[in-house]
Amino acid sequence: MKYLFDIAQHDIFEFEQLLNDIGLTIQADSDLERVSLAVIEANAKAHKEILHDNSIDIREFISDIAGIIDFVKKILKHKNHPDFQQIIPHLELLNTASTATLTSKSRVTDDGNNKLFELYIALLCMNFATNICLDNPVNSKGNNPDLTFDFKGGKWAIACKALHSDKGKTLYDAIEKGTEQVNRSSANKGIVIVNFKNIIDRNKIWPLINQEQFDNNNENPLFACFSNIEQPLQILKTYICESVQRLIDSIGVDNLIRLSETKCQAGFLVFLHAVTSVQYNGECPPTILKLFNYVPFKPTQNEYIELIDKLNEAMHDRI
């Protein structure tokens, strides 16, 4: 019988072989090496080959595992895609990013993690689009959209932006810059995707029941478990609602509409990844939350909604 961590470890080994085949390695002392070893460690603990220390808070450990395996599975799935060569420069950044996953908070200065977000979106597009082209992550001047591709007979562009502040003006600047990049491109349609992962409190998404006692070294951690997945998803959506309200309060809806009335629609797409725990069959397994949430400022054309639906289906491995 194969256990979950057996499969995860197999995926890591297959990914390492894929990197070797294209002339890359998992570099020593990189965050990619750290999270890859975490998968192997978790599998050893699942088989009771090494003992687990119940006094340790494992939430970050599990988040790293969930994040890297979600990433690796999508890379392996598309290793034979006609446009796979486009993502190789971004794969190199897995070794240089201070955080190699999208389920953990990254530093403002970690441009490598921002580029991994572009890689992830490109991997999603490989499920339904053709002629995928990624802007070079090293030589990019920031003038072009991060990704272009063909979809439904048109040429599309996506600008990927990452937030490190919840201020309304910061979000506006991200949307404005992304919109300008799309407008400068050769695409005739486009969308801005904003990564909210760095502005959420992960302790609210997966809290400890006894946080104070654990902080005082009096008790082992007791991990909260939600009764259904909608509860932690609603917490994530609250961050979106509050951020959008701050955006509207500081900029105004009319200005937001005027900003986007070009190749982009009046709105933007929010991306969020986090890990929590949700009851399932009487147990409380860790669960990765993957959320796309479109924020429109006026009615949106169907072709944009269709693209967003495809991205969401690809993220949840339904296509």
Segment 103-119, tens digit of pLDDT: 988 887 777 788 899 99
- In 10 A of CB 234, how many CB atoms? 11
- In 10 A of CB 39, how many CB atoms? 22
Segment 155-213, tens digit of pLDDT: 999 999 999 998 999 999 999 999 999 999 999 999 999 999 999 999 999 999 999 99
Query: Whole-angstrom distance between the N-terminal and C-terminal Cα of the chain?
Result: 27
pTM: 0.94
Segment 63-109, tens digit of pLDDT: 999 999 999 999 999 999 999 999 999 998 888 888 899 998 888 77
Nearest to 70 by CA among 95, 37, 35: 35
In DSSP notation, 98-143 reads SS--SSS---TT-HHHHHHHHHHHHHHHTTT-EEEEEPPTTT--S-
Tokens of 142: 């920031």
What residue spans define the domains of the chain?
Answer: 4-315
Residue-level pLDDT at 2: 44
